[in-house]
Every structure is written in structure tokens, then in C-alpha cells.
Amino acid sequence: MFEYSEKVMDHFMNPRNVGELEDPDGVGRVGNPICGDIMEFQVKVEDEHISDVKFRTFGCGAAIAVSSMVSEMAKGKTLDEAMKITNKMVAKELDGLPKNKLHCSNLGADALHKAIEDYREKQKKSARKQTAGSGGEADGKG
């Protein structure tokens, strides 16, 4: 039997921020090469801050607890701060994971970072479009 901390059990039994956002600004999905499980993070961004975050984890209990903790840690943070969240920090916040479940913590922060990168990519693309489209565009007001 694995020995999970109380925090892991709590986040596993009552995961925070599970589900999907209606119109996410960024989506990140990663697969665990060790077990094949998948984590997906969706973020809403306002003023360079993560205003909302949801996740879906197709994986084990530890992975669910990790995702839940990452979502809590990320909410309200600036994008730069959220990019600094590491998988190690998450495992520490959960008061550790059993050794043979440590690989389950490898994806949480990665999926979040991918969602932020996805948002930033989209921003760049729409900025490029706007620059390319500037000049003779109707402003659409009225």
C-alpha cells in the first residue's frame, strides 16, 4: 500500500479546479512517458495574471492530487511566476509523494507551463495579424 500524505489524499478526494473552461486562453497537454497518463491544463489570462485555471487528468490518484495542487498554486499568479512553479515545488507542497509515484508529479507543472506557452503563442500570432492587417482596416465600431 502506498503511503500518501494527508494533503495528497485531500486533493485526490476533493480535487480543486477540475473540468474545462468555456473559452480558455491557453491549453497545455502532456503525456507521462512512464505510464502513458495524460494531464491537461486550461488557463484564462487577465492582465498577465492567471485569473482562472482548470485541469483534466487521465491518470492515477497521485496525478490528480498533483494537478489539483498545481491549479491552486497557479491561480492569481502572474504568468512569469507561474512559469517558475516546478514539479519539485508541487511535490513538496503535497508533503511529498511515495518514491514510486514521484514520476506522477513530473507532469503537473509541465502541463501548466505548456498552457501558458500556448497563450503566449496565440498572443504573438494575433499581434502579427494585427500588424499585417493594419492599414485600411475598418474599426468595426458602430
Active-site residue set: 35, 104
Choices 31-39, 45-53, 71-79, 89-97 (CB under 6 A): range interacting with ligand FES: 31-39
Please report how close the Cβ of residue 74 comes to ligand FES at its closest, in angstroms.
19
Measured in whole angstroms, the distance separating CA 6 from the mean position of its chain's CA atoms is: 23
The nearer residue to ligand FES, 104 or 111, going by C-beta atoms, is 104
> What is residue 86's DSSP assignment?
-
Q: Identify the three-state secondary structure at position 5.
A: coil
- Apex 56 CA angle, 52 and 57, nearest 5: 135
Site map 75..114 versus ligand FES, x via CB under 6 A: -----------------------------x----------
Give the residue, chosen from 17, 32, 42, 87, that forms a contact with ligand FES under the rule CB under 6 A: 32
Residues 6+ apart with CB under 8 A from 74: 43, 50, 53, 82, 85, 112
Q: Is the dihedral of CA 108, 31, 119, 42 positive or negative?
A: negative
Choices 14-22, 56-64, 109-117, 122-130 (CB under 6 A): range interacting with ligand FES: 56-64
Residues that bind ligand FES (CB under 6 A): 32, 35, 37, 59-60, 62-63, 104
